[in-house]
Structures are given as C-alpha cells and as structure tokens.
Amino acid sequence: MTTWLITGCSTGLGRSLAEAVLARGDSAAVTARDVSAVEDLVAAHPGTALALALDVTDAAQVAEAVRAAEERFGGVDVLVNNAGYGYRGAVEEGDDADVRRLFDTNFFGAVAMVKAVLPGMRARRSGAVVNVSSIGARVCPPGSGYYAAVKAALEGMSGSLRQELAPLGVAVMAVEPGGFRTDFAGRSLTGASAPIADYAETVGPRRKENDTVHGTQPGDPARAAEAMITAITSPEPPALLLLGTDALSAAGAVLDAQRAELEAWRELSASTDLQD
C-alpha cells in the first residue's frame, strides 16, 4: 500500500487525485486550508484517509502535517505539491505584495513540503515527489508573467532535485497540465488590481473579468489523476509529464520555435568562445 500526502485537496486536480488514490486502496493524508473541505474523504475512507489543515505558507502547519502523516501511516511514499492558485496581470501591473504571496504559496510552500518529507524518504531510500506546474511555464502567455515565472521556478527546482535524489532512490516528477475543468480559472484565479490601458490588447482578454475559458476547458480532472498515478508509480517516472492534448500541442509549438530560433542565431551564439 502506498501512502500519499497531497496538498490542496479541496477542489480541482488535488481533489480528483485524492479520490483516485483512495479508491485504489492506498492511504492518503489529504490537506486543505479549511479542513472541513476534505472531511468527507475521510468519512468515505475512514481507515486510509487522514484530513489535515494545511496552509503551505505556515511553517508550523507544514511540520505538523508531515509529522501527523508519518505517525498515522508510518511514512510518506509520495508527496504531491498541488496547492496553488493563478494570478493574471501585466508584469508592470503586478502588486509586489500579491506577487510575493503567489511565490510564497506556489513555490516556497512546495519547497517547505519537500524539505519536510525528505528526511523520511532518504532514510528509507525510497519515495517520490510530484510538483504540479503548468503549461504556462512553457508558453508564457501575456498576462501570466508572474504565474509562468513561479511555475518555471518550480520546474527548475524539480530538475535539480531529481538529479540530487536519484542516487538515493527518490523520484521527482514535474507535471504540466493544460486546461482542465476545475475552478482554476474561477474562484482560484486572482489578478492585478490596477489595470493599465496600454495593455488592453495583450493582457485584457486574459483578465479574470474577461475570461471565457472557465467551464469550457477540455481536460478531465479524473483522467488527469489516473495519468499522474500511472506515471509516478511506473518503474521509471518521467522528469516531466504533460497532461492534455492542448498541453502537448502548445509544448510542441514552443519547442519548434525554440529550435528554429537556435538555428537562426547559431553562428552568433558560437562566436563568443575564446579564439586560440
């Protein structure tokens, strides 16, 4: 039986993943800032589910959640850093305090969770860390500069962490979902409070009040959960898992454009080496 610790289980992908791992008979510490939002999961799986109040920006709650999960289940086999939210606005419009909160939750909160579970995983020489990123980290759409940045930071950390932990038997996988039928573009989306008129054409269509995507996303959260389970429990989990045909298409387009630009500027790039 595998034990999971999943952050951000009140709605969306975190909720679907919690339901899926519990349905397959695994144990799970399911967390939310408001613990009442996940108590029904424990009611449905009293022997294998543990509901925990967790704000990943609160160091004491992070430590207590990991301690409680390890005490109840004997250890955490898979940590899933899913807690987070979106933020839209032009880079110039971003409120400093809002941006810091975004990074505190989406990046530093994930780092805190990783640091809290790694002593146990290293001691057992087994385990897995799953960091939920976004295709936004790759495509960097206008109006999502800070969200793309925080997810790119999460992926950069994941890449190094993967190499550090591989010799110790711990796997690391980043996940890039495309658009899924969750509340991400609804309740969970925040934005800059003081729009600048010059960005009406580039950022305007993506502002929360103008967004038309919510409720029409192509991705099925339940299928995403099953895909994540399949990948992280495989003998060799991928470093990066894309979720959704839209994510695949977008990533392919970005890679093609990057390759074309690399070739176009190859001669200049190569000209900077010291000449003997």
Q: How many domains does the chain have?
A: 1
261 within domain boundaries: no
The residues that bridge with 87 in the sheet, in sequence order, are 190
118 within domain boundaries: yes
Give the E-state strand segments of the chain in sequence order: 3-6, 27-32, 49-53, 78-81, 86-88, 127-132, 170-177, 189-191, 240-243
CATH of the domain at 145: 3.40.50.720
Q: Is the pLDDT of residue 182 over 90?
A: no
Q: What integer is the mean pLDDT of 164-174? A: 98
- Which of the residues are catalytic? 133, 147, 151
β-strand 127-132 against 49-53: which pairing, if any?
Answer: unpaired
DSSP 31: E
Q: What integer is the mean pLDDT of 56-78? A: 98
Q: What integer is the mean pLDDT of 7-34? A: 96
Query: Which pLDDT score is estimated for 255?
Result: 98
The residues that bridge with 78 in the sheet, in sequence order, are 4, 128
Q: What integer is the mean pLDDT of 14-29? A: 97
Query: Which pLDDT score is estimated for 193?
Result: 86
Q: What integer is the mean pLDDT of 243-256? A: 96
260 within domain boundaries: no
Query: Which pLDDT score is estimated for 219?
Result: 82
257 within domain boundaries: no
- What is the pLDDT of the chain when averaged over all its residues? 94
Least confident range from 86-100, 108-122, 203-217: namely 203-217
Query: Which pLDDT score is estimated for 181?
Result: 65
How many other β-carbons are positioned within 10 Å of the β-carbon of residue 238? 13
Query: Which pLDDT score is estimated for 189?
Result: 79
Q: What is the C-alpha to C-alpha distance for residues 171 and 261, in angstroms, rounded to an integer?
A: 33
Give the structural domain span for 10.
Answer: 3-249
264 within domain boundaries: no
Cα pseudo-dihedral 209, 212, 216, 218, rounded to 10: -100
Q: For residue 157, give the nearest of 142, 137, 140 by alpha carbon.
A: 137
92 within domain boundaries: yes
272 within domain boundaries: no
154 within domain boundaries: yes
The answer to whether residues 251 and 138 touch, using CB atoms and an 8 Å cutoff, is yes
- Residue 211: pLDDT band (50, 70, 90) is low
Q: Is the pLDDT of residue 145 over 60?
A: yes
